[in-house]
């Protein structure tokens, strides 16, 4: 009765690793997955090992992780996400799996099955701001009752989801946005660390990611990060081809440092009433040439206590925990919490901090 | 519509400081409070400043913080919680406030008002194991629909609440147990820190408390802690008079160190599915002669990631945050989260870790 069936849209690094993490979890059954050209559905549970094996280094897409073929029908860039493509069957991606079926309409195919699905993880980079909000709308139009959850990073997407909140609520959807590492795990940690205080003055989120072995799987994520660098924005990053991305990485010797990023943690902490968005800073260092983290991921929350003291509570992730571990564990954790809310009839749009103790 | 009216049973250190912290919070209105001899009710909101001023250093009780006069009618020990009793009105405790009314049945008086109360904080030491479970039962018998929340420390009480879960659920009660600092804030931190891992091997909770200026207010808490020392248990601690307590403190030069305590964190993390209770250790240092913390409060969660690494995530509270800040902020934070669940119709017995992302 507490079991949860879920689907994953997108089988880039985040989607595939989430499927893998779910096999370690009790009560979580992955029943559907799709990428740009294929869909796999089995309501008794996908064979995750076979699916991962078939799609490893073999992603159907254009390197952006974009799964929505309908919205990108005129886009001919298909690089298969890397040079070392491992072909296990005909075509790339999910269709290479024995469980996969080719399709022109992968998201609609999942929506068609959604009556028997409790939760859907949208593991898609949001290169167009309204890409994920529009997908949410399609689930609502189909009267999906359940959880939608994404691992978005961008502040401005939250507002677009809020604009659709009535539609989502009417359908019976509990939408959790920004439920990966940051925002996600670290936003939740900030919300919890704030509990010692009656006023939060500053939240500093600082992350380190070493991504050598995961680079091929996470090109979409790296592209999103490049949009945060000085001189780039979301549009220029989207238009870059792979060689331009490589050139940026080369110019930085493989180590990209980010300060004061537009990261949804600010909006998500503000909407939970914890602090002003302006009091939140997010930065970090991404090293694409080694797996070792270039800096320790740390959340520091500074505030005033009711008894007049000022202090800083700290949350630190061990350097041995990979980005994948810190995105996919929390995504499934928030998914579980959201399904509980959804089953109780609590619908709408939530950030991770709103699934924590209130402030 | 999101506003929450709440009551506090017990006006020892925890009860009074919770009332104080609530005045810093949006949407939280304290409408009732009681101690052993008095009750104050105002559904438009208590005047917290007046109530605190009247009861400061002036607690109605026997130094155990016990509020339930009915269950202790034959107990004549009344020490008023200290030597420096400040008398603002007739009698001690709430009756000294202009808002207070004397009563022989303080808890029943709150229950009589509970139709207009969303949540009740049970700020009572649980010197008899089933003291708080029995109070919960009385609220259920009166068909209270709302949240009950306690800041209990003892593992074995959780089972007694579980035995009553059907009764609580039928009434429409969402009971959150162990929602202070530890268990509570630190249990939640452990649950969140676990999200990087697919298997948790060890949770170490280590706390530091400096309590010089708060000692008079927290005699009940100190007595509970003494029960954890070698050679003492809950029964012997309850039977000790004030001079015996002082003698124990003196013998330890004011600094009590605790290892491997029976603390409900173990049960609460196990019931949330995060680890075995046996993998949780709780210890700490209590310094009654200075306010400075004798050691830094730290949660360390060690586990294995899905990708085969082993690491330790860490949560640390600033030494400047007092025990009071770390108990009362989280208690109200969990209370808010529980009211949201209760309003959605999600009833039963929950630990703090179950109000976090799932594992």
CA distances to B84, B128, B178, B283 from B156, in Å: 35, 11, 12, 17
CA distances to A13, A227, A246, B166 from A123, in Å: 9, 18, 23, 39
Residue A77 pLDDT exceeds 70: no
**Is A101 marked as binding a ligand?**
no
- Closest by Cβ to A330, choosing from B195, B329, B346: B195
3 state DSSP class of A5: strand
Question: Which region, left, alpha or beta, applies to residue A17 given φ > 0 means left and ψ of -120 to 50 means alpha?
Answer: alpha
Bond from prior residue into B183 cis (ω within 30 degrees of 0):
yes
Which residue in chain A has the smallest CA separation from B306?
A21
Check CB contact under 8 Å for B24 and A273.
Answer: no
Hey, which residues does A210 pair with through a beta bridge? A287
Check CB contact under 8 Å for B198 and A25.
Answer: yes
Out of A251-260, B56-65, B279-288, pick the least confident.
Answer: B56-65
The confidence score (pLDDT) of residue A248 equals 93
Hey, which residues does A314 pair with through a beta bridge? A300, B316
- The pLDDT tens digits for B204-242 are 999 999 988 878 877 878 888 888 888 898 788 888 998
The confidence score (pLDDT) of residue B127 equals 64
Which residue in chain B has the smallest CA separation from A176?
B357
- The pLDDT tens digits for A133-190 are 999 999 999 999 999 999 988 888 889 999 999 999 999 999 999 999 999 999 999 9
CA distances to A204, B61, B142 from B132, in Å: 40, 17, 16
A21 Cβ under 8 Å from any chain B Cβ: yes
- Say which residue, A221 or B29, is predicted with more confidence: B29
The confidence score (pLDDT) of residue A198 equals 97
Q: Which of A55-59, B27-31, B122-126 has the highest mean pLDDT?
A: B27-31
- Say which residue, B224 or B348, is predicted with more confidence: B348
Q: In 3D, which of A260, A292, A293 has the Cα closest to residue A277?
A: A260
The confidence score (pLDDT) of residue B152 equals 85
Check CB contact under 8 Å for A357 and B324.
Answer: no
Provide the mean pLDDT of chain A.
88
**Chain A nearest CA to B250, separation (Å):** 28
Residue A355 pLDDT exceeds 90: yes
Check CB contact under 8 Å for A329 and B21.
Answer: no
A17: chain B residues, CB-CB within 8 Å = 306
Q: In 3D, which of A14, A10, A12, A26 has the Cα closest to residue A333?
A: A26
Residue B63 pLDDT exceeds 80: no
Contact B238, B71 (CB under 8 A): no
B3 Cβ under 8 Å from any chain A Cβ: no
3 state DSSP class of A253: coil
Contact A340, B355 (CB under 8 A): no
pLDDT band at residue A209 under the 50/70/90 scheme: very high
Domain residue limits, chain A: 4-182+325-355, 185-320
- A-facing residues of B in 185-204 (CB < 8 A) are 185, 188-189, 192-193, 195-199
Contact B156, B176 (CB under 8 A): no
**Chain A nearest CA to B221, separation (Å):** 19
The confidence score (pLDDT) of residue A60 equals 57
A6 Cβ under 8 Å from any chain B Cβ: no
How many percent of chain A have pLDDT more than 90? 72
**Is A64 marked as binding a ligand?**
no
Average pLDDT over residues A24-30: 95
- A-facing residues of B in 29-88 (CB < 8 A) are none
Q: In 3D, which of B175, B185, B67 has the Cα closest to residue B126?
A: B67
Residue B294 pLDDT exceeds 70: yes
- Say which residue, A281 or A56, is predicted with more confidence: A281
- A-facing residues of B in 289-318 (CB < 8 A) are 305-307, 309-318
How many percent of chain B have pLDDT more than 90? 72
- A-facing residues of B in 158-187 (CB < 8 A) are 185
Measured in degrees and rounded to the nearest 5, phi and psi for residue A169 equal -65, -45
**Chain B nearest CA to A354, separation (Å):** 9
| Residue B9 C-beta-side C-alpha neighbours within 13 Å | 30
Residue B85 pLDDT exceeds 50: no
DSSP state of A120: E
Distance from C-alpha of A14 to C-alpha of A179, rounded to nearest angstrom: 12
Average pLDDT over residues A262-289: 94
A188: chain B residues, CB-CB within 8 Å = 192, 356-357
pLDDT band at residue A203 under the 50/70/90 scheme: very high
Which fold does the domain A4-182+325-355 belong to in CATH?
Rossmann fold (3.40.50)
Alpha helix stretches (DSSP H) within chain B: 13-22, 48-55, 106-112, 131-141, 155-163, 165-171, 185-193, 219-226, 234-239, 242-251, 265-271, 323-343
Check CB contact under 8 Å for A306 and B336.
Answer: no
Residue B4 pLDDT exceeds 80: yes
Around Cβ B335, how many Cβ atoms within 10 Å?
A: 28
């Amino acid at each position: 009765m507490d079991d949860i069936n879920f689907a994953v849209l997108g089988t880039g690094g985040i989607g595939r690793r989430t499927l893998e993490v779910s096999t370690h979890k009790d009560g979580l059954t992955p029943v559907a997955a799709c990428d740009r050209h294929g869909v796999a559905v089995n309501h008794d549970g996908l064979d995750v090992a076979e699916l991962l094996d078939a799609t490893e280094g073999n992603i159907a897409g254009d390197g952006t992780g974009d799964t929505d073929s309908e919205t990108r029908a005129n886009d001919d860039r298909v690089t298969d996400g890397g040079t070392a493509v491992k072909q296990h069957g005909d075509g790339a991606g999910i269709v290479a799996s024995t469980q996969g079926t080719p399709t022109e309409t992968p998201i609609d195919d999942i929506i068609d099955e959604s009556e028997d699905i409790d939760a859907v993880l949208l593991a898609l980079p949001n290169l167009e701001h309204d890409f994920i909000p529009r997908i949410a709308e399609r689930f609502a139009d189909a009267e999906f009752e359940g959880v939608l959850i994404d691992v978005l990073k961008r502040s401005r997407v939250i507002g677009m989801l809020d604009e659709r909140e009535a539609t989502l609520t009417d359908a019976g959807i509990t939408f959790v946005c920004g439920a990966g590492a940051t925002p996600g795990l670290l936003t939740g940690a900030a919300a919890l660390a704030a509990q010692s205080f009656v006023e939060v003055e500053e939240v500093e989120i600082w992350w380190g990611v070493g991504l050598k072995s995961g680079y091929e799987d996470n090109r979409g994520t790296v592209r999103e990060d490049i949009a945060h660098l000085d001189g780039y924005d979301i549009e220029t990053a989207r238009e870059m081809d792979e060689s331009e991305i490589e050139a940026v990485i080369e110019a930085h010797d493989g180590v990209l440092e980010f300060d004061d990023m537009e990261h949804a943690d600010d909006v998500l902490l503000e909407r939970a009433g914890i602090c002003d968005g302006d009091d939140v800073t997010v930065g970090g260092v991404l090293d694409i040439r080694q797996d070792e983290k270039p800096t320790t991921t740390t959340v520091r929350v500074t505030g005033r206590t009711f008894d007049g003291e000022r202090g800083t509570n700290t949350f630190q992730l061990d350097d041995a925990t990979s980005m994948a571990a810190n995105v996919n564990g929390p995504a499934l954790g928030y998914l579980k919490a959201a399904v509980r809310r959804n089953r109780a009839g609590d619908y709408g749009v939530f950030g991770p901090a709103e699934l924590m103790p209130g402030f």
